[in-house]
Amino acid sequence: MTEKCITCQDSRGAKSTSGSRICAVDDTTAIGALIKVTIDGQPVKVPLGTTILAAAKELGIKIPTLCYHEDLCISGVCRICVVEVEGMHNLQASCAYPITQPITIQTHTTKVRLARRHILDLMLSKHYGECYSCVRNNNCELQSLAKEYGVDFFRFGHVDKPKFGQDKSSYIERDMDKCILCRRCVRTCVDLQEVGVFEAVGRGTETTIGTFMDLPMIEEICINCGQCINRCPTGALKAKDPSDEIWEAIEDPTKHVVIQTAPAPRSAIGECFGMEPGTAMTFEMNTALKYCGFDKVFDTNFTADLTIIEEGTELLLRLYKALVQKDETVAVPQFTSCSPGWIKYIEHFYPEMLPHVSSAKSPQQMFGALIKTYYAEINKIDPADIVTVALMPCTAKKFECNRPEMTDSGFKDVDFGLTTRELAQMMQEAGIELTKMEKSDFDDPFGTATGSGVIFGATGGVMESAIRTVFELVTGEMIESVFDKANILPVRGFDGVRMAELTIDKIGPVPDLLKPLVPNWDWLKGATLKVAVAHGTANAKRVLEDIKRGGPLSECHFIEFMACPGGCLGGGGMPIPTNEKIRAARARAIYQEDENSEVRKSYLNPAVAALYDKFLTDGPCGHKSHHLLHTGYTPRGSKVV
């Protein structure tokens, strides 16, 4: 008599190696096959190749992890996620076990629990560091597991003095005595970003995470993106924190301390105060900053709008030189220059392509230059007494503001780069409960910004902002005539590389602001503008290699690059943890703020228009703006004569 499958009562069932039945409907050889597994007595069907860890998540069963991270490739080195699989003698790492046949799994047996506890004890035996003084105190995955598994003594001993010491040479600081060898930093740098600063060195008990030739971070090819920090489960990696120096400046009555706030932190800082990702705290944050003692709170979105005017004008000049004047020395496509991690990446790996990079500074650095010139002038403040702080989602911004060329104001344009995490800590020191703060607006003359400035925080945002402005300046038509509600959806999203095209069917008169630069737009009528967006330096590499071999991306006119996955909202200075779901929630907050804005195109910002009228009187890409707002990466000449 043939035994029938207990699932579908079909007699075609066959026995698996564990003796259980395989349903004929669940044919594991079929494309898209669903396989029945049982975890802690709960049945579930999952696609072929699903890991045990992922299957357990579907059932709401928690399995602890350390080396695993949703953004990274599977490693399976820490073994804290071990489970029992029926029929197997050894415990299996659930994060690295692909389900290929029906199996029965137990996740919390005595054997599993003790194994996890012993693995944890072994990690703690080599982990040196005082939790109270650690930057990750109360947000450390190792610390959380120690509490969860009831660690009340060091079963295998504990180191009482540091072995490696700390590397504080760079803006990314390392403390390898806190490292648990999970290799997340290695996989982040090698696989996610394709930079390759870190590697596992040695074997067995002598294994460490090192750099090339064990050089200090300041001498490595690190781009300071901070993605390794965001994925490190402990305090082995952190950013250089300027908080003490900022407090000192605030407390100095001779100093006028101002802060500019980028769009991405306002979408995420609430996470540091227990709020859900994507809860915008823009105006509560303004009040909290005043409470901390900052004299003025400005909106970086103002100079994001300014960046669009300068960078967009530069793009039009490049295209005019290339298409009309047939100047073969002009580098097209033009690359954006807002992301300092991306700039450092191209400097290290593709220096021959630097002529493609826009000469426009980032919004952070434009702001710094204006504060110590225009702002100081109209408020009769000695620039030497002004301290400028930039609240950024980015650890590379710390490096950027300390670049020697960023002194066009005659002073250091931006004194300190402060991350979202660091500001949250400052607020907590000041006894601020952000969620209870009243709302207040930004200060003038830099309090006016547009929705285009806000969306700089998401990948594709710079490109969308540029298209909104350039299209309307050239055609005289509203962008809404092409894209509903001015939402340029083709450049949005989290695909690694995205392309879009826009044909210019009509042309309008040259706006007064640009009349000194080009005689007319006739040369653009009927042209198709081709653009692309890339986020994460691994994707940047794909784009640059495609351009080098003359691929489709070489036909683009303008390409946006961001060093961090997701753009600034996934920056190295944002709240930990981060993953695709969290980044998507932050993006929704940013786009919602854009849609709520009264003005959504950069060139319509009245404060930017006033700046050109009163200060940058020779217009965008003019002599004064080139001096203050641009660097040396520029097409030959700044004006078309």
Give 289-307 as a DSSP string: HHHHT-SEEEETHHHHHHH
**Residue 505 forms part of a structural domain:** yes
- pLDDT confidence of residue 611: 97
**251 catalytic, yes or no?**
no
Catalytic residue among 141, 173, 220, 311: 311
Would you state the pLDDT for residue 447? 84
The answer to whether residue 629 scores a pLDDT higher than 60 is: yes
Q: What is the pLDDT of residue 30?
A: 61
In a shared domain, residues 153 and 78: no
Last residue of a domain, one of 108, 137, 157: 108
Q: Within this chain, do residues 101 and 185 fall inside the same structural domain, yes or no?
A: no
Q: Which of 70, 251, 377, 405 is flagged as catalytic?
A: 405
Contact status, residue 534 vs residue 542, Cβ threshold 8 Å: yes
Encoded amino acid at 500, one letter: A
From the CB of residue 484, how many other CB atoms can be counted at a distance below 10 Å? 10
User: Where is the domain boundary, 184, 210, 239?
Assistant: 239
| Sheet of 92-93, strand order | 42-47, 34-39, 104-106, 82-85, 92-93
Task: Tell me which of 94, 170, 337, 358 is the catalytic residue.
Answer: 358
- Whether 357 is in a domain gets the answer yes
Same domain? For 92 and 135 the reply is no
Higher pLDDT, 5 or 554: 554
Which helix (H) or strand (E) segment holds residue 184: the answer is helix 184-187
Q: Which of 338, 394, 401, 556 is catalytic?
A: 338
Q: Is residue 202 part of a domain?
A: yes
353 lies in a domain?
yes
Q: pLDDT (tens digit, 9 = 90+) per residue, 95-154?
A: 999 999 999 999 999 999 999 999 999 999 999 988 999 999 999 999 999 999 999 999
Number of folded domains that form the chain? 3
pLDDT over 80 (residue 92): yes
What is the domain range of residue 75? Answer: 32-108
| Shared-domain flag, residues 470 and 559 | yes
Domain of 64, CATH number, reads 3.10.20.740
Render pLDDT for 482-541 as a digit per residue (tens, 0 to 9): 999 999 999 999 999 999 999 999 999 999 999 999 999 999 999 999 999 999 999 999
Task: Specify whether the CB–CB gap between 46 and 108 falls below 8 A.
Answer: no
Burial class (CB in 10 A: 0-12, 13-18, 19+), 555: middle
DSSP 567: G
Backbone φ and ψ of 334, nearest 5°: -90, 140
The answer to whether 272 is a known catalytic residue is: no
Position 80 pLDDT exceeds 80: yes
pLDDT in tens, 242-266: 999 999 999 999 999 999 999 999 9
Distance CA 56, CA 569 (A): 29
- Measured CA to CA, the distance from residue 339 to residue 371 in angstroms comes to 21
Choosing from 95, 222, 225, 568, the catalytic residue is 568
* Domain end marker among 223, 239, 255: 239
Q: What is the CATH number of the domain that holds 342?
A: 3.40.950.10
pLDDT score of 21 more than 50 = no
Rounded CA gap, 88 and 239, in Å? Answer: 44
Asked if 13 and 4 count as a contact pair (C-beta separation under 8 A), the reply is: yes
**Which of 151-165, 283-297, 415-429, 464-478 is the least confident region?**
151-165
Check pLDDT > 70 for residue 622: yes
Mean pLDDT on 565-584: 98
Q: Is 431 a member of any domain?
A: no
Query: Are 134 and 101 found together in one domain?
Result: no
Same domain assignment for residues 621 and 482: yes
Asked if residue 23 has pLDDT above 50, the reply is: no
Same domain, yes or no, for 89 and 173? Answer: no
Are 474 and 347 members of one domain? Answer: yes
Compute the C-alpha angle 570/542/50, nearest 5°: 65
Together in a domain, 614 and 512: yes
Which residue type sits at 37? V
Least confident of 11-25, 319-333, 424-438, 522-536: 11-25
299 in any annotated domain: no
Mean pLDDT calculated for residue range 588-610? 96
- Quick check: is 465 catalytic? no
Sign of CA dihedral 387, 390, 396, 401: negative
Mean pLDDT value across residues 451-464: 98
pLDDT for 551 beyond 60: yes
- Examine the domain organization and report whether 193 and 102 are in the same domain: no
pLDDT, average across residues 210-219? 95
Q: Shortest CA distance to 425 belongs to which of 589, 296, 269?
A: 269
Position 423 in a domain: no
Asked about 314 being catalytic, the answer comes back as yes
Based on the residue annotation, tell me whether 45 is a catalytic residue of this protein: no
Residues 547 and 605 in one domain: yes
- The active-site residue, picked from 173, 310, 400, 464, is 400
If asked whether residues 99 and 45 sit together in one domain, one would say yes
The contacts of residue 339 (CB under 8 Å, 6+ apart) are 362, 394, 396, 561, 562, 563, 564, 568
Q: With 60 as the cut, is the pLDDT of residue 640 above it?
A: no
Q: How confident is the model at residue 76 (pLDDT cuts 50, 70, 90)?
A: very high
Tell me the average pLDDT across 75-86: 97
Q: Is residue 311 annotated as a catalytic residue, yes or no? A: yes
474 part of a folded domain: yes
Query: What's the predicted TM-score (pTM) here?
Result: 0.92
338 catalytically annotated = yes
CATH number of residue 131's parent domain: 3.30.70.20
Question: Which entry of 141, 314, 422, 593 is annotated as an active-site residue?
Answer: 314
Tell me the percentage of the chain whose pLDDT exceeds 90: 92
Contact 36/5 with Cβ under 8 angstroms? no
pLDDT at residue 481 in the model: 96
Which pLDDT belongs to residue 417? 98
